[in-house]
A and B are shown apart, each in its own frame.
Chain A
C-alpha cells in the first residue's frame, strides 16, 4: 500500500522489539467473536490514475460545463488562483488546530487577520475564527442571544433561507427556544408591523437575513429599533458575503451570523463552506467558537494564541457555550486570502459588477415576465414570475446547458410560478440574453396557447 512507509522487514523487526510473534497478537484485546476474519466488501485497491479517472467520470455526470443562474446560499464567484496555491502548502493543509502556539504561529496570525477583516466588513467589534457554515452560525447566534438576554424565544424572518430556518429549528427545539416567524410584504422585505407585534418581553432575539433569501436588502436600522425597544438582540444573517462590498453593513445589529462562501470558496455541491460569528465586544464571552488573540512571549515579542478557551467544550464540558470543536480553518484561510486579494477597493468594485449584472438581468427579464419585489433595493438575486412552471422552463434550459433559477413554490407556495435567479460578476451578458430569450419564448408560447392566433380561427 503506497501510503504505508514500512517494509516487511521493518514490521518484523518492530514486532520482535515489542516481543510479539504476530500482528494478530496486537489485536488480542478485541474479543475473538468480534474480530473480522474476512475482507471488507469495499472496492479493490486502485492505482492513482484509476482514482482520478473515476472522479473525472463522476464530474462529467455532474453538470460539468453548464452555465448556472443558481444562488440561494451558494454563489459562483471568481476564485483567484493564489488561493489554492497557498492553501495547498502542506504547512497549512496538514497542520492541526494551533494549540501549541510556538509551533503554529502561521495559522494563528492568519486567523487574527481573518478576525480583523471580518470585523471590519461586518461593522462589528470582533469576529471568531469560523463556524461550520451560515446555517449553524445562525443557530448558534440564537442560543448565544438566549444566554445573553436570559430570555427564551426568538423571532425569525420568513424570508430567511429555508434551510437555515430548518437548522435553527433543529437546534432550538431542545434548548426549548420557541420560534415565531414573521411574514414579508410585497417588497419582499420583512413586515415591520407584524414584526412589532411578534417581539415581546420574552424575545431574546430577532433574526433576519440581509440581503434576504429573495436578494432584497432589509432596512436593518428600522428592524434594530423594533428589537432593541423591547430589549431583544438583533442577529443579521449574511449569506452573500460579496454584498458587504457595496451594501452598508448591519452596524446596529448585536450579532452577525455569516456565510463567507462567496469569498473564494468553491460552490462544491454545498460544502465545505465557512460560517463565522461577529459581535459587539461586550458579548464576546458568550460567543462560541475559537478565537485567536495577540500576546507577547517571554522576550516581549508579539505572538498569537488561541484564547478565552474557558468558553469552550474541552475546558467547560457540559457548561460550554457550544459543543463545537473542529471548525472550518482551511476554508477560513481561503476566505482570508480572497479578502486580502480584493481588499478595500477591489471588494467594492467586485460588488458593483455584481450589482450591474443583476440590474441588467432583472431589467431584461421584466420585459417578458414579472420581476417580483421590485420596490426594494436588491443585491445579486431577484425573483421572476412566469406563466409556465419554472420546472418546465428549467428543463428546457438544461437542453441549452443552462441551469435556470431556483423554483420557489416548494418553500413559498403563495409565490406560485416564481423562481429565484442569481447573477454574479461571472455571469456574462450573452448568458443573460440567452436565458431571457428562452424564458421569453416560453411566455410567448403560453400566451399563444391561451389566445389562439386569429387566422387559425378563420380557417
Chain B
C-alpha cells in the first residue's frame, strides 16, 4: 500500500484458507441423524427392482462443525451490503431489513402448502392481496400479478400480455422498440416472446430521441420498452409525449421498473402513460439479492391489459374471503408453478409497513440526494458524458483515465482495495467505459465521503502510477482471475 493513498475504510485482515468440501470428505463422517423408523423397514430391492440406486458417487461425507466452518469461511470471502456501500448501478443494493427475514420464517407462512384449502390459506392470500394493493397504489396502475419469479420473467409476462392484447385486436404486430441504453434482458425477452427487436437511439441528452421514435413508430410496433429513469439515471422528461406517440399508432408503453427506487412516492408510472411495467422486489422493495437471487418481478398493468394477466389471480369472494381465480379465458397462461416467490412478497410487504407513506417518500429523496452528492463530489475528477440531471444513479466514464491505459474495470478493481464493492462497469453500452454508480438511500454521509475520497485517490494514482492500478486488486485473497482460460477450457465441477 502506498502511504499517500491510505484506504481509510478498510484494512488487511486474517482470512482463513478453505478447500472444496469434497477435499474434506472421508467415509464414516456424518452431519445427520434420522429418528428411528416408526413403520416397518422395507426391502428396497423388492420395491424398486432395477430402479434402485446403489451408489451416490462422490457426494461428500463431513461432520457438522466442518460444514459450519466451511460455509462461514467461504462467506468471509464475500463483500456484502452488511459490510458497506455496494454502489452497483441499476442493482439498487439497499439495506435488507432483518425483520423481513424474521417474518418470512414464521411457522404457518414458511410451512404453508400451495395446495392447502383456501379456507386455511387466508393468511397467505391476505399478504398477496395487501402487497398487490400497495404496489398498485405506488405504481398508479389498475391490476397486477405477483407470479413472475424475477425482473426478466416480469418482462416476459408483460410482453406476453402485450402480444395477447394485440392478438385480441386481430394483429400481434412484429416488433418491439428498445432504446440503446436498455438492459440486455429487454431484447432477450422480446426474442423469447417471438418479437423482432428494433433499436432506438438516444439523443445527446441521454434520453429517448422523440423525433426518432416518431419516425420509427408504425403499426408493426407492438410496444416500446423504456426504463425510467433510464440506465443513465436520467428521467425521461418527455415520457408523456412518448406515451402519446405509442398510443396514437395503437402501440403500448412498457416500463422496465428496475429503477423504480428513484420514483416511489414522488411520481407514478400509471399517471404518466405507462400501460404495463414490472417491479423488482429485490431492488426497490429491499428483499435480499442473496448472491444472485431469488428475485420477484410483479407486473402491473392498466385496465385494458387486465384480462390477459396470468392465472391464477387473487380475488375477493362474495362472502369477503379471498381466493384464487383460475377461469380467465383470455389469460396468457401460467409463467411459473404455484403463485410466485411468495417468501419475497412477505419481505417486500414488511418493508412497506416499516416505511409507510412518509418513509417511502424520504427513502426516494435520500436515494436521489445520495447520487447527486456523489456526482457533485466526483465531477471534474471523472468525465461526465451527460450533464442531464441525475436521479438515483450517476454515470461517469473512464475517458480521462483511459488516456493512461486505465479502464473502468481497472478502476473498479482498485476500488476493492479501498473496501468498496465496485460500481457497475461498462454499462450502459451508450457510454464507452462507463462507471455506473447507484448508492441507494442506505448510505450515511460518512460512507459517501469515504467513497468520494477513494475515487479521487484512485484518480490520482492513475496519474502517478497507472501500473499500480492496472495490477489491482492488491489486498484481496486472490489477484485477478484468468477469465479467458475459464471460458476456453471450462471446469464446471470438481472431479476426484
Contact = CB atoms under 8 A, between A and B. Distances in A.
Contact of B266 (A36, A61, A130, A166): A36
A398 B426 CA distance: 57
Interface string B298-330: 000000000000100000000000000000000
A167 B336 contact: yes
Interface stretch (A179-187, A195-203, A324-332, A447-455): A324-332
A293 B490 contact: yes
A272 B198 CA distance: 34
Interface stretch (B92-100, B397-405, B453-461): B92-100
Contacts of B486: 293-295, 305, 307
B184 A96 contact: no
A44 B476 CA distance: 44
Nearest to B340: A271
A419 to B, nearest CB: 11
Nearest to B339: A270
Contact of B114 (A58, A116, A270, A377): A270
B176 to A, nearest CB: 9
**Centre residue among B21, B73, B121, B361 by max chain A CB count within 10 A:** B21
Interface stretch (B1-9, B42-50, B208-216, B246-254): B42-50
A106 B74 contact: yes
A446 interface: no
Nearest to A66: B120
Interface in A55-80: 55-66, 68, 70, 72-74, 76, 80
Interface residues of A, number: 197
B382 to A, nearest CB: 17
A106 B78 contact: yes
Interface string B105-124: 11111111111110111111
A173 B83 CA distance: 45
Contact of A94 (B82, B354, B377): B82
Given A291-B490, A317-B188, A102 B416 contact: yes
B356 A62 contact: no
A271 B53 contact: no
Interface string B440-454: 011111000000000
B79 A95 contact: yes
A309 B152 CA distance: 17
A320 B74 contact: no
A406 interface: yes
**Centre residue among B30, B160, B353 by max chain A CB count within 10 A:** B353
B219 interface: no
B115 A95 contact: no
A5 B112 contact: no
Contacts of B91: 96
Given A52-B102, A326-B282, A349-B34, A100 B416 contact: yes
A270 B485 contact: no
Given A326-B292, A327-B293, A246 B107 contact: no
B51 A100 contact: no
Interface in A111-138: 112-113, 115-117, 119-121, 125-127, 129-130, 132-136
B360 interface: yes
Given A28-B389, A169-B333, A10 B445 contact: yes
B378 interface: no
Contact of A170 (B41, B160, B271, B369): B160
A265 B14 CA distance: 33
B141 interface: no
B155 interface: yes
A350 B18 CA distance: 28
A231 interface: no
B168 interface: no
B115 A341 contact: no
B289 A266 contact: no
B191 A318 contact: yes
B97 to A, nearest CB: 6
Given A176-B194, A319-B191, A136 B153 contact: yes
A93 B356 contact: no
Given A97-B292, A120-B57, A246-B53, A271 B342 contact: yes
Given A1-B359, A74-B114, A163-B338, A104 B422 contact: no
Contact of B67 (A23, A98, A312, A340): A340
B490 A284 contact: yes
**Centre residue among A1, A304, A349 by max chain B CB count within 10 A:** A1
Given A30-B267, A326-B282, A167 B334 contact: yes
Nearest to B91: A96
A4 interface: yes
A170 B333 contact: yes
Contacts of B264: 40
Interface string A208-233: 00000000010000000000000000
B355 A129 contact: no
A134 B22 CA distance: 27
Contacts of A458: none
A82 B62 CA distance: 14
Contact of B30 (A34, A95, A345, A356): A345
A366 B188 CA distance: 51
A50 B99 CA distance: 11
Contacts of A330: 288, 290-294
Given A90-B80, A95-B291, A102 B479 contact: yes
A35 B346 contact: no
B190 A359 contact: no
A352 B338 contact: no
**Centre residue among A66, A95, A105 by max chain B CB count within 10 A:** A95
B272 A174 contact: no
Contacts of B271: 34, 36
B184 A313 contact: yes
Interface in A281-333: 284, 290-299, 301, 303-305, 307-310, 312-320, 322-333
Contacts of A116: 22, 58, 493-494
A344 B107 contact: no
A82 B68 contact: yes
B485 A296 contact: yes
A150 to B, nearest CB: 17
Interface stretch (A13-21, A151-159, A381-389, A437-445): A13-21
B108 A64 contact: yes
Interface string B59-83: 1111010011011111111111111
**Centre residue among A4, A247, A327, A355 by max chain B CB count within 10 A:** A4
A23 B334 contact: no
B473 interface: yes
A360 interface: yes
B343 interface: yes
A434 interface: no
A87 B22 CA distance: 20
Contacts of A342: 31-32
Nearest to B122: A61
Given A4-B441, A293-B491, A319-B191, 5 more contacts: A1-B355, A106-B78, A166-B333, A272-B296, A329-B290
13 contacts: A39-B361, A68-B116, A116-B493, A246-B44, A269-B124, A298-B479, A303-B481, A313-B184, A318-B190, A325-B152, A326-B282, A342-B31, A429-B38
Q: Which 7 A-B pairs have the closest CB atoms?
A: A270-B338, A330-B290, A45-B356, A59-B108, A90-B82, A64-B108, A62-B123
